[in-house]
Amino acid sequence: MEEQPLPAASTFSLMRNTPAAIHRAQKDLQRKLQEGTILSFTTVHHTPEGFPAGPRNIGLIELEDGQKVSGHLISETDQPIAIGMKVLPKMRLSSVNTQGLRTYDVSYEIPVQQTVKQEFPGYVLALTGPSGVGKTTVSVLLSTKVGKYVERVPILTTREPKEGDADEYVHVSPEEFLALKNEGKLATSTCIPSRDEKRWYGYRTEDIDAIWQKKMIPVIITEMNLLQGLSSHYGRRSILSFGLMPPGKSKRQMLSSLLHRLRDRGRDTEKQIEDRLKNAEADLDFFKTRSELFDDVIVNDNVDTVVGQLGGLVLERVKA
């Protein structure tokens, strides 16, 4: 008779059957047993000892409740895996240790005959980079230089208003934000860590659609999670994606440049600046680890040059 997975536990084995361990495993299992959407994926060709031989597809999956988990991707057919595909949770054998004890975990299965949306909705110009690199300044100047063809999309956020925000933000309560997210009305969203508050950011699909209706290109300011969500929602082909880096030959010099810019603009406390610099390190690494998400990465040491380059790209697209 075929051996069945042990019940009510994720990554469960006979070596971890204490009441506390089982309770934690049950909670983890319930969290992971949701349908999801593939945000990114990679193939591991050399699997560790105890795991089935052969390549394994590992994906970053956004679950129905908005949480992100990594998991084994399974396809029962030869159809290629793609960002944006829906997946279903399945309990499956994960590994067998040297004593023969079996470990089970949640994998994510791609339903048969699933197709990924291929329609081309239009272009979105995305500017990605660490806080203080000049994304807002570039977007404002770009809308002035080629304002006939582009329009900035307001950022939906739960953070408190600050002096100097102007009209770039739409401030809502956390409850309003999560309601829009759960109703599928956000094209992309993320929660950026801070010691002072839980700050959600996102963009409404209706704001982007309204700009497309005018035959214009929406301009969006993003960071690593917002860019990945945007690419997943509309398809990579739609995103004119540009990373902005601060000047400097090393990461230390770049962070020093950002520190001076953040202090000069006078909008954040020293503790908030410290948080932003921590996030900036990950943003700079993201340019290398997810280079496929960018059309180009530009050093913003001369804002007029950057705006001119992006303005020329916009004119090429609208006249094509």
Number of domains observed in the structure of the chain: 2
Residue 156, domain member (yes or no): yes
Residues 179 and 201 in one domain: yes
Given a cut of 50, is residue 116 above it in pLDDT?
no
Q: How far is CA 277 from CA 160, 179, 314, in A?
A: 20, 30, 31
Residues 23 and 58 in one domain: yes
Residues 72 and 138 in one domain: no
Residue 29, domain member (yes or no): yes
Residues 81 and 136 in one domain: no
Q: How far is CA 286 from CA 125, 144, 263, in A?
A: 18, 29, 24
CATH of the domain at 47: 2.40.50
pLDDT for position 6: 39
Given a cut of 80, is residue 239 above it in pLDDT?
yes
Residues 76 and 191 in one domain: no
Residues 224 and 284 in one domain: yes
Tens digit of pLDDT for each residue in 121-167?
899 999 999 988 999 999 999 999 999 999 999 999 998 887 767 67
Residue 158, domain member (yes or no): yes
Residue 2, domain member (yes or no): no
Lowest mean pLDDT among 49-53, 189-193, 264-268: 49-53
Residue at which a domain ends, from 110, 138, 159: 110
Given a cut of 50, is residue 312 above it in pLDDT?
yes
Residues 105 and 137 in one domain: no
Residues 154 and 257 in one domain: yes
Residues 262 and 183 in one domain: yes
Residue 5, domain member (yes or no): no
Contacts 24+ apart (CB under 8 A), 273-281: 275/193, 275/194, 275/195, 276/130, 276/131, 276/132, 279/130, 279/131, 279/192, 279/193, 279/223, 280/130, 280/131, 280/132, 280/255, 281/251, 281/255
Residue 118, domain member (yes or no): no
Confidence tier at 225 by pLDDT (50, 70, 90):
confident
- The average pLDDT across 179-207 equals 86
Mean residue pLDDT across the chain = 81
Residues 193 and 268 in one domain: yes
**Would you say the pTM of this structure is higher than 0.75?**
no
Confidence tier at 15 by pLDDT (50, 70, 90):
very low
Residue 119, domain member (yes or no): no
For residue 270, the enclosing domain spans 124-319
pLDDT for position 272: 82
Residue at which a domain ends, from 44, 75, 110: 110
Q: Are 151 and 314 in contact (CB under 8 A)?
A: no
DSSP code of residue 47: P
